[in-house]
Amino acid sequence: MAFSDLSLIKVSIMDFQTLRDNCPTWQDYIHHEFVNQVAAGTLSKQSFQHYLKQDYLYLLHYTRVMALSVYKSDTLAQMRVGQAGINAMLDLEIGMYLEFCQQWDLSIKEVENTAESAATIAYTRYLLDAAMSGSLVELYAAIAPCLMGYGEIGQRIKTEGFVDNNPYQPWIDVFASEEFQKVTAQNKAFINQLFADVSPAQQPKLQKLFNTASRMEVNFWQMALDLS
């Protein structure tokens, strides 16, 4: 059961599962109508195109957050995790989204010239502010919903069963794949390692960062549905 009063969250060891279980909007994020329509193959083309364009813009800012994670790191091992995140964004994920855009009749020029939606601005600036003003553990509390949520969504859709002739199956396949699930597990292990030394006094702030980012994810899905 999620706590409504962050001051009540006092656990001996805080980890990703603690953040997830105490987040009031996590299920709204994972089970959002946008996700449900993608899984069913019923989402409108316009909504998916809008999502792709905005998520491309989001990923550019996310890469900047990962660069800040290197700056905030205390050890070489932590820096390498941040570096791997930057490489994954620049060499793989952003390119993958541009390929999706082209498959869905969106030119790279159109994507790059798209104006950021209000939801994209709110979410990305929130993450950048958390990354610039906080510690490494605070940075990861803020990005954890994005970092971990897509893997959970992919696994859920796979478990519930794929529908035939789903136009969004290529997108689903990425996040349901064994490779992506492996990366998600690695991210979870790193987050749990970072959070192992968090004091009880720090826990409410970390939960608040996570909760706000989860709410931003809900707003991001809704933005795509509303074409806003």
Residues 157 and 31: their CA atoms lie apart, in Å, by 10
Of 160, 153, 129, which Cα lies nearest the Cα of 220?
153
146 among known catalytic residues: yes
Active-site residue flag, 33: no
Start-to-end CA distance of the chain, whole Å, equals 32
Q: Which one from 93, 101, 138, 217 is the annotated catalytic residue?
A: 217
Catalytic residue among 23, 99, 146, 160: 146
Which are the catalytic amino acids? 146, 217
